[in-house]
Structure 1
Amino acid sequence: MDVDILYFAWVRERIGLDREEVDPPAEVTDVAGLIAWLATRSPGHASALGDPTCLRAAIDQKFAGSDALITGAYEVALFPPVTGG
């Protein structure tokens, strides 16, 4: 299952990519599992994704919690919490 992962703000800066296409293992079924798996891909990934409480996600352009299933998703975006002003 190929999924397009989009990175924004300091997440993008630490990883050094704005997007990548990945094929997570079958046991990765939700956002939390995806983040944990992605964090193992490189030191930059580990730096950006090491503390999932500092991240927000969207699946196919809809906000999603860490327990949201990624099965069948085309796109998962990872970004810091959004603040208004």
Structure 2
Amino acid sequence: MNITVRYFASIREAMGTGSEDLSTSAATVGALRDELMARSDAAAHALAHGKAVRMALNQDMCSGEAPLKSGDEVAFFPPVTGG
């Protein structure tokens, strides 16, 4: 299936891009995260399970169990703090 992945803030810097269109066999957002982490050391560090990483599916916050379908947009970003 084809999806769009968007990266924000420090994750964007680590991934080297703000977004990309991907073909994936991942069934869930969590499986996609694992797939992306396997691509490089930088991705593994930026998306590591021990790090606080927020995920959104079609602009709605989601957990790793959220199912994916073709045409979805997934976003990964660090938690936002305000001042």
TM > 0.5: yes
1:61 to 59, 62, 71: 59
Give the drift of 1:74: 2.1
Unaligned runs of 5+ in 2: none
Unaligned runs of 5+ in 1: none
Q: What SS class does the counterpart of residue 42 from structure 2 fall into?
A: helix
The percentage of counterpart residues that share the same residue type is: 36
Partner of 2:16: 16
The runs of at least 4 consecutive aligned structure 1 residues that moved more than 4 Å come to none
Q: Normalising by the residue count of structure 2, what TM-score does the alignment of the two structures yield?
A: 0.86
RMSD, aligned α-carbons: 1.6
2:42 to 31, 35, 44: 44
CA distance in 1 between partners of 2:15 and 2:34 (Å): 14
Does the CA-based 8 Å contact 1:35-1:52 persist in structure 2? no
Does the CA-based 8 Å contact 1:16-1:44 persist in structure 2? no
1:16 partner letter: G
CA deviation vs aligned residue, 1:5-27 (integer Å, no higher than 9, x gap) = 000011111111111111112xx
